Amino acid sequence: MMKKIAYTALLLTLAFTWFGASAQQKADATKPKKISPDLFGIFFEDLSYAADGGLYAELIQNRSFEYNPADNRDWNSMTAWKYQTDGFGYGTISVETAAPVHPNNPHYILLDIQDEGQKGVGLENSGFDGIPVKASKNYDFSVFLNAISDQSLPVKVALVDRKGKELGSSLFTTSDKGWKKYTQQIHINFDNDSAKLVLLIKAKGKIAIDMVSLFPEETFKNHRNGLRADLAQVIADIKPKFMRFPGGCLTHGDGIANIYRWKNTIGPVEQRVEQRNIWNYHQTAGLGYFEYFQFCEDIGAKPVPVLAAGVSCQNSGGTWRIGSTGQKGIPMEEMKAYVQDVLDLVEYANGPITSTWGAKRAVAGHPAPFNLEYLGIGNEDKITGVFEERFRMIYDAVHKAHPEIKIIGTVGPSPKGEDFDKGWKLADQLSVGIVDEHYYEKPQWFLKNTQRYDAYNRLRSKVYIGEYASWGNTLFNALSEAVYMTSLERNGDVVRMASYAPLIARIGHTSWNPNLIYFNGSKVFPTVNYYVQQQFAANSGNEYLPDVIKLKGEKAALDTTAGVSTVRDSATGDLILKIANAGNAPVSGEADLSKIGQLPKSAILTVITGNPDVKNSADNSQAIVPQSSVIKLQKKWAFTVPAYSLTVVRISGREIEKHK
């Protein structure tokens, strides 16, 4: 999405001198300083259909008939399904639990076909707002069947459009009695964004059906039980340094029984424990901890799993809007087992294949460790006595058993207040290495708080900003975040990580707005905020240079609508300059590259700019996108950047070396 633009359009002219740190950088020394190499990453939470119906590539909704009114008051085991007797067949259908595929997956469908009619009797599934399929592509179908009748039964599986036109199909026959998994590949002949899957039994008989599944053959990195390729690639293109998962509020759940248990999400999918999603839909757990770790590895992001701190969400039984106080703690007599679950996760991620949980990872297809470095305990919890007692138990046990793991604590849901203060006090008492701050605020808050971390005590816990966003997806929102992010780079010695939240949301099923990426069944729509996050993550460094860029004039240097930063990536030697301008007038300044040595002839300049009220949408997905060009370099640069813009200049370290 990078387009060349005329360099003169940016109002950038070249000249160069060396200047001291701006007043905004008063907390910095004049020398380069080491900053976190993991500063910018992503946070995935299963809300707004982010997993099922989203990143998880499964195309069948309610594939195992486990939906129920606890998920959504209008749902039941047949939600998204239709009993299919088109062709004058008839029989009976029922939801059963007497003899399931696995006790963790108790519901299944029993069909008694008394007359197969002209086409057969069976089931039809509408997917998530329809099933998108593409011509000439293959789709992997599977189903668990228990043929109770003595004779074998012919089965047809097809994808059809809304009018019943067949888009592709496959035929097979059941074999022995008892549950057996059947797999078929369906070749599609026509494009369709809203197909339906039809499973028909074409003879008289009795049969049980469960785990009806359909995946595109082409998943991200071609993994089985994999991820939606286009959506996963857009996430990968951010080039995040880490990924926090699986939540969020999802982690500590709506009540103790709803706490997310990682062990329930690994192993064969038909044996995983499904449960209600705190955001009022359903989790199949098909996208589970193994898949999360695997995705992190695939995109080069460090995994940051977050586990409940032994308490449920304080909004259990209510909502954050009405201030529910429903936090409950796991009974103390059960905490020893819960703490062991936490320790077992570290073993699952990092243990050898000779260990109990390392062996389970190997069986799943990954003998090598996942190299877990960070572990979050708690999520924006209310800091109560109930929380503190359980957090201490978990923290002490993990710290003792695995001192190599960097534990991330929590300091409540807001950038200040009682929980924030109590959380920091607890972190001080335990010497917690990193604490997780959260804030969702108006864009003006971000512009007014660019000095937030300048005065943080460097000897206290480091900070992970696990969730932050301004309230909106316009260019102005994105640029207010960009200005703030330059201050995070400036304070990258105390701010170890930061991740915009939420990450993705399915259009028509949003539980929360704004989001970084929107999508429907067939397309993905990155926001302007996405491109800002991408520019910072893809152009990050591990060394901050405090006095390369100076904005013109003392007043301009103090202007909270503008921010600058310069970082170096020691791995590549690349030098990256960022100038964020959320103001309504161009900003001028000067920079000095004289100390980097002999300049290469050119660099890559990328600009995001436009009308501040514009946002990318499904109707205009590329209203504002980054535009890049190659620029010539000279030793002195006096620049003017446009109003409402983010400008990034990347100078290749490889080219610098060539010209030394």
Instruction: Name residues whose C-beta falls within 8 Å of residue 17's C-beta, 6 or more positions apart in sequence.
Output: 590, 592, 636
Q: Are 214 and 140 in contact (CB under 8 A)?
A: yes
- Rounded Cα distance between 313 and 317, Å, is 9
Annotated catalytic residue within 380, 388, 437, 489: 380
- Rounded Cα distance between 216 and 200, Å, is 21
- Two tokens, residue 65: 């008939």
Q: What angle do CA 528, 533, 539 make, to 5 degrees?
A: 125
* HSE of 599, CA atoms in CB hemisphere, 13 A: 17
Which of 295, 436, 294, 304 lies closest to 373 in space, CA to CA? 304
The conformation of residue 64, written as its DSSP 8-state character, comes to: T
Which of 28, 37, 38, 41 lies closest to 565 in space, CA to CA? 28
Tell me the sheet residues that pair with 526. Answer: 517
Q: Are 304 and 41 in contact (CB under 8 A)?
A: yes
**Radius of gyration in angstroms for the set of CA atoms belonging to the chain, rounded to a whole number:** 27
Q: Backbone phi, then psi, for 38, in 5-degree steps?
A: -110, 30
- Two tokens, residue 428: 């001080």
Instruction: Name residues whose C-beta falls within 8 Å of residue 12's C-beta, 6 or more positions apart in sequence.
Output: 605, 631, 637, 639, 640, 641, 647
Q: Are 560 and 448 in contact (CB under 8 A)?
A: yes
What DSSP assignment string belongs to 312-362?
--TTTTS-TTTT-----BPPHHHHHHHHHHHHHHHHHHH--TTSHHHHHHH
- Two tokens, residue 83: 């009993």
Q: Are 166 and 115 in contact (CB under 8 A)?
A: no
- Rounded Cα distance between 619 and 525, Å, is 10
Which of 566, 583, 402 lies closest to 490 in space, CA to CA? 566
From the number of C-beta atoms within 10 Å of its C-beta (0-12, 13-18, 19+), residue 408 rates as buried
Q: Are 652 and 614 in contact (CB under 8 A)?
A: no
Instruction: Name residues whose C-beta falls within 8 Å of residue 101's C-beta, 6 or more positions apart in sequence.
Output: 108, 144, 179, 210, 211, 270
- Rounded Cα distance between 19 and 513, Å, is 42
**Other Cβ atoms closer than 10 A to 319:** 8
- Rounded Cα distance between 130 and 61, Å, is 10
Of all helices (H) and strands (E), which one includes residue 534? helix 528-538
Tell me the sheet residues that pair with 499. Answer: 41
Is 380 tagged catalytic? yes
The residue type at 476: F
- Rounded Cα distance between 22 and 546, Å, is 8
The residue type at 501: A
Tell me the sheet residues that pair with 209. Answer: 109, 145
Cα separation values, 567 from 483, 535, 543, 580, Å: 15, 13, 5, 14
| Residues with a known catalytic role | 380
